[in-house]
Structures are given as C-alpha cells and as structure tokens.
Amino acid sequence: MSWVIDTCVLLDIALGDPKFAIGSAQALDRLREEGLVACPVTLVEIAPALGGRPDAARTFCAGIGIPLDTVWTADDTLAGMKAWNAYVAAKRAGLSAKRPIADILIGAFAQRRRGLITRNAAEFRRWFGALTIVDPAKPVRRR
C-alpha cells in the first residue's frame, strides 16, 4: 500500500527549501519501495511552483516516482465529507480558525493508503486521528 505525500513535502523539494528539502527527499527515498502517491488536490496545489505547466508536473512527478493517474474514489469523498462535517462543527463552536479544505481532502485520500508524509502532523491528526503519519522533519526512530 502506498504512502500519500502532502503538498508541503513536495513543495519543499520543488522549491529547494533550505530547511526542509533534504529531510523531505530523504523521507521519500526511505519509503519509495512501499509506493508513493499524491492526492489529486496536492497536484493542483503544487502547480504554481511548477509554473502551472503540465509538462513540468509530469517531469517533477516522474523524477520522484509519483504516478499522475491515482484515482479518487467514492470512499475518499465519503471520508472527506465526514471530516469536513467535524471541522465545520468545530469551527462553529469556535474551536478551529483555519479553513483546511485541501488538508481534509488529502487526509481523506490518505486514509485508504499506508499513511501520510507531512510536516503538518497536528493538522491531520486533529481530523484523522487513526492516520499513520511520517514527519520528514523529525528523526527516524530505529528499533
């Protein structure tokens, strides 16, 4: 089962972030054999970093080993609906300020897979408590 790569991790690499690019690339290298995918929402989010050019997106994703044809399913939609409902209830109760629709959709997509590679673990854990998360900014624990 594949790992879903969050937008922030792909942007770290695409933009050569001086603080996070190396750790993000190393995390992807470490997990590549288990499979890597990106939610279609993430691919849309990274488009500006690639000049909005489909050829640049194809080249970038191929270089990392991310297929562009990963399918969004009805289960992804239903998981997203459930999480968005919880978010809206929290927002109405004054318990959440951020409007994370992209994060909700990415988290819903990741639930059917191995887990999520992100530096925004707290955001995703709030709405997807059972989701396995790898934070590339944190050291890997050896057993």
Q: pLDDT tens for residues 2-20?
A: 999 999 999 999 999 999 9
Q: Which two tokens stand for residue 59?
A: 């080249």
- What is the full DSSP assignment across 47-69? GGGGTT-HHHHHHHHHHHT--S-
What are the C-alpha distances in Å from 8 to residues 14, 25, 93, 94? 10, 12, 28, 26
Q: What is the pLDDT of residues 90-105, one digit of tens each?
A: 888 988 767 689 999 9
Q: pTM, whole model, 2 decimals?
A: 0.89
Q: What is the pLDDT of residues 62-84, one digit of tens each?
A: 999 999 899 999 999 999 999 99
What phi-psi label fits residue 138: left (phi over 0), alpha (psi between -120 and 50 degrees) or beta?
beta
Smallest Cα–Cα separation from 76: which of 112, 121, 118?
Answer: 112
What local confidence, expressed as pLDDT, does residue 80 receive?
A: 94
Look up the CATH superfamily of 3-134.
Answer: 5'-nuclease (3.40.50.1010)
